[in-house]
Each structure stands twice: as C-alpha cells, then as structure tokens.
C-alpha cells in the first residue's frame, strides 16, 4: 500500500491566485479602454462624415439656385457651360470623379466656407448631350459638389438637374376644373385679351358654359382672342374648352410646382423685411400660404402665387404671372384702373380641408373668378411678360448619387 503524501505548506497559492486575477482584470480593463476609444473614433468619424456630406449637399442646392438666377437674368445654359471650360475647349468628364483632380475647368462655385467646412461645385453637361460638351440642347446639366468637413473628411455628391420647360398659360385667364364660378367685371371698359390665345381658357365644356353665362351679353366683346366671334348676336366671347398642357392640367404637377416655387421664393409673407411684389427691372417670386389682399395702387412683376383667397383692392398693375393654386379664388374689390400684363391662373385643388399642403385629399374643385368690383381691370396676355416670369422657375433634381474618391 502506497503512502499518501500530504502537502502541508500552501501559503504561496494565494499570491499566485491574486496575481492571476490581477492580470485578468488588467486585460479586461485594457480591452474596455480600447473598445471605448474605438467607439469614440467611430462616432467621431461618423459625425465628420455626415458634416462633409451635408456640406456637399449644400453646394448642390446653392448651385441649383445660382444657375436659376443666372438664367433668369438673361444667361443661357450653354453660355454658363462655355464660361467654365478649360484651355482644351471642353469640360471635364464628370462620369469619373478622379478626373476633377488636376482639371483646368473653372468651378461653377469656388471654394465657399460654411460652418466648420467648405464646398466647391463644378458644372458639366448631362450624359444625353455628352458630359464634356458645352452645347446644351435639353436644359439638363450635371452638378458635382465636393464637401470638406473637419478632420479632412470629404464627400462628393453629383446631381443631374433639369429646368423643366413650363409652357405658357393656355389663356389670358386660365381656369381648370369641372366647372367655374365666373363673374365678369361690371365696367364696360374691363377687358381680357388673349390675342392668339383664348381670353378665358377652360378644360371642361360645363366650365365654358358657366364662363360665358357669367359675362353680360353687352360685354362679351370685351373678351377677345381665340374663338371670339363679333358677328353673332349676342357676340361670342373668347372662351375656349381645351386640353391643358402639363403642368396646368395635372394636379400632382401643380403640387410639385407649388412646392418648388415655395422653396425658392423671395418672400413668403407681406410681413417679411423688404417685402415687395417686384418691378420689371427686379422681378420677384412671392409665394404666400393663405389669403392675401393686395392693397389698392400696388404694382408688381414676376410670379405671385397665393394658396388662399386672393383679393385685389382697387387698381392693381402687375407684369408677369399670377397663380392662385389652392383654394382657387380671385376677387377684385373696389373700383379704379389696373392692368395685368401676362396671365392669370386660378385652380381650386386644396381639397376638403382647404389646405394645399395636405396633398392626400387634394382634388379638382371649382375655381372662383369675381372681378365685379368695377374699374377697368384689364388683362392682356403678353407672351414676353409671361416668358420673363417663367425664367424664374427652378432647376429640379432628376437624379442624385454619392461618389467616393
């Protein structure tokens, strides 16, 4: 039988155990510190990456507005492209972001500081015209924006933008809808002339009947233009039922047009500092959510869009396009002279809640036109005035992507 060996002295085991536990705790502590540090770095990188992305996006938006304002000021898309080409006579191939490095093209927007970073934007042609070409045929171009944020973070965004060619208004007065609530002016001197266009354009036969019924028989020759017949008794006013081109007869496109104009308006309220309806030398885009009463004697030029009830108090002179899109009600109160040179569009699409911003219930309703307040209240469809106003419309994004250097 073997004898059992008893270890009597175990004093050293506690020290070994303590050292092992200390080593394990130290390793755990080091791992925890590293994880925290890495997490902080990831959070920091995410934050700076987002900042550079937002800077690049801001560059796209500023370039879009700059392009619009230059075109509105008389420039052309081809002219803008030509002004940026390098000595080789063509633009950089923007399909590959690496091509911008060392390019001799001029930036459309030079390095611009914003917050704790900056952006720079290049303008090139679209793929259809050939990205290196300086000849534009479709009002569509490419914007490439480089954003630089803190800690050398960078982001590149490229967007194709299109200036949708909005057609002229169908008539001097355009009233889309299933019917119209039409009350012509009381004055024998009150006229609407569409020239080669209708004085009143509608897109429903019931609307045509209602509009004609709303004009006193002795004043029907005050509405001249396409379809006017002065040989009949009573005379046939220029009221034409027709199919409207987009966006004038397209509800969703009208909503989009409203949103685009609202986003780039010079003024959104009469209480805005420096509020003005514009002049022919300095036209303004004014978009007012809700009702608006234009004071008597007011003048303006450009585009005026009102989503509520638009009221003219007395003589009003305006050169451009007046859009009443929403509740679709235009009323002229008070006497006095006044000429609208361009065109007027009134569409009731706000739906049961009367709010155009709640698009889910927007439907075609019956627009109201009431100029029975007296005075001349002439409306002349002058294409040059309309075209000047249409030049103020924005470039919209048709495609978008983030690139990586």
Q: How do residues 222-275 score in pLDDT, each as one tens digit?
A: 999 999 999 998 899 999 999 999 999 999 989 988 988 888 889 999 999 999
**Percent of the chain predicted with pLDDT > 70:** 90
pLDDT value, residue 18? 74
CA 231 distance to own-chain centroid: 46
Identify the pLDDT of residue 35.
61
pLDDT digits (tens, 9 = 90+) for 277-289: 999 888 999 999 9
Q: Which helix (H) or strand (E) holds 5?
A: none
Concatenated DSSP letters for 210-253?
HHHHTS-GGGGGGEESTT-BTTSSS-B-SEEE-PPPTTTT-HHH
Beta strand ranges found along 43-125 (DSSP E): 109-114, 117-125
- What is the mean pLDDT of the segment spanning 47-55? 84
The whole-number pLDDT of residue 127 equals 93
| pLDDT per residue as tens digits for the range 183-226 | 987 777 678 999 999 999 999 999 999 999 999 998 999 999 99
Identify the residue whose tokens are 């739906």. Answer: 351
Identify the pLDDT of residue 111. 95
Count CB-CB contacts under 10 A for residue 49.
Answer: 15
Cα–Cα distances in angstroms (integers) from residue 61 to residues 109, 160, 265, 271, in the given order: 11, 12, 14, 26
Lowest mean pLDDT among 21-25, 133-137, 380-384: 21-25
Nearest to 244 by CA among 254, 235, 234, 236: 254
- Both tokens of 142, joined, read 């490419």
Average pLDDT over residues 3-10: 54
Average model confidence (pLDDT) across the chain: 88
Is residue 247 within 8 Å of 260, Cβ to Cβ? no
Q: Is 374's pLDDT higher than 70? A: no
- Which pLDDT belongs to residue 334? 67
Global pTM?
Answer: 0.72
Q: In whole angstroms, give the CA distance from residue 303 to residue 338.
A: 17
Q: What is the pLDDT of residue 17?
A: 76
Can you tell me the mean pLDDT for 294-318? 91
Q: What DSSP designation does 152 have?
A: G
Of the candidates 141, 138, 171, the one whose C-alpha atom is nearest the C-alpha of residue 159 is 141
Is the Cα dihedral 265, 388, 57, 106 positive or negative? negative
CA–CA gap between residue 309 and residue 325 (Å, rounded)? 9
Residue 151: its pLDDT value, please?
85
* Confidence tier at 62 by pLDDT (50, 70, 90): very high
Answer yes or no: is pLDDT of 80 > 90: yes
Do 108 and 94 touch, CB atoms closer than 8 A? no
Is the pLDDT higher at 41 or at 200? 200
Q: Does residue 313 surpass a pLDDT of 90? A: no
Residue partners of 376: CB distance under 8 A and separation at least 6: 185, 187, 189, 190, 191, 336, 337, 338, 339
């Amino acid at each position: 039988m073997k004898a059992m060996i008893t270890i009597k002295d175990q004093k050293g085991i506690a020290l070994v155990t303590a050292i092992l536990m200390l080593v394990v705790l130290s390793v755990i502590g080091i791992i925890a510190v590293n994880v925290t540090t890495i997490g902080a770095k990831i959070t920091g990188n995410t934050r700076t990456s987002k900042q550079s992305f937002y800077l690049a996006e801001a560059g796209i938006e500023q370039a879009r507005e700059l392009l619009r304002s230059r075109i509105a000021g008389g420039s052309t898309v081809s002219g803008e492209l030509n002004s940026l080409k390098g000595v080789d006579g063509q633009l950089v191939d923007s399909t590959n972001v690496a091509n911008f490095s060392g390019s001799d093209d001029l930036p459309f927007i030079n390095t611009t500081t914003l917050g704790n970073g900056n952006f720079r934007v290049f303008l090139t042609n679209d793929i259809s015209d050939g990205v290196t070409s300086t000849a534009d045929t479709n009002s569509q171009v490419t914007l490439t924006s480089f954003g630089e944020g803190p800690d050398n973070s960078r982001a590149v965004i490229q967007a194709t933008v299109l200036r949708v060619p909005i057609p002229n208004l169908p008539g001097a007065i355009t009233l889309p809808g299933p019917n119209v609530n039409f009350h012509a002016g009381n004055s024998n001197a009150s006229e609407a002339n569409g020239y080669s266009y209708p004085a009143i354009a509608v897109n429903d036969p019931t609307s045509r009947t209602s509009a004609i019924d709303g004009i006193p028989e002795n004043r029907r020759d005050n509405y001249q233009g396409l379809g006017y017949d002065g040989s009949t008794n009573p005379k046939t006013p220029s009221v034409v039922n027709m199919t409207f081109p987009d966006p004038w007869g397209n509800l969703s496109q009208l909503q989009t047009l409203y949103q685009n104009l609202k986003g780039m308006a010079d003024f959104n309220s009469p209480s805005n500092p420096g509020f003005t309806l514009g002049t022919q030398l300095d036209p303004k885009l004014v978009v007012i959510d809700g009702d608006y009463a234009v004071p008597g004697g007011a003048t303006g030029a450009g585009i005026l869009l009102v989503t509520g009830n638009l009221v003219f108090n007395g003589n009003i002179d305006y050169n451009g396009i007046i859009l009443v899109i929403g509740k679709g009600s235009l009323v002229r109160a008070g006497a006095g002279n006044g000429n609208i040179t361009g065109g007027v569009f009134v569409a009731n699409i706000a739906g049961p809640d009367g709010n155009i911003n709640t698009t889910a219930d927007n439907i075609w309703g019956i627009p109201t036109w009431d100029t029975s307040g007296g005075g001349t209240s002439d409306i002349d469809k002058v294409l040059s005035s309309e075209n000047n106003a249409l030049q103020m419309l924005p470039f919209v994004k048709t495609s978008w992507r983030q690139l990586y250097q």
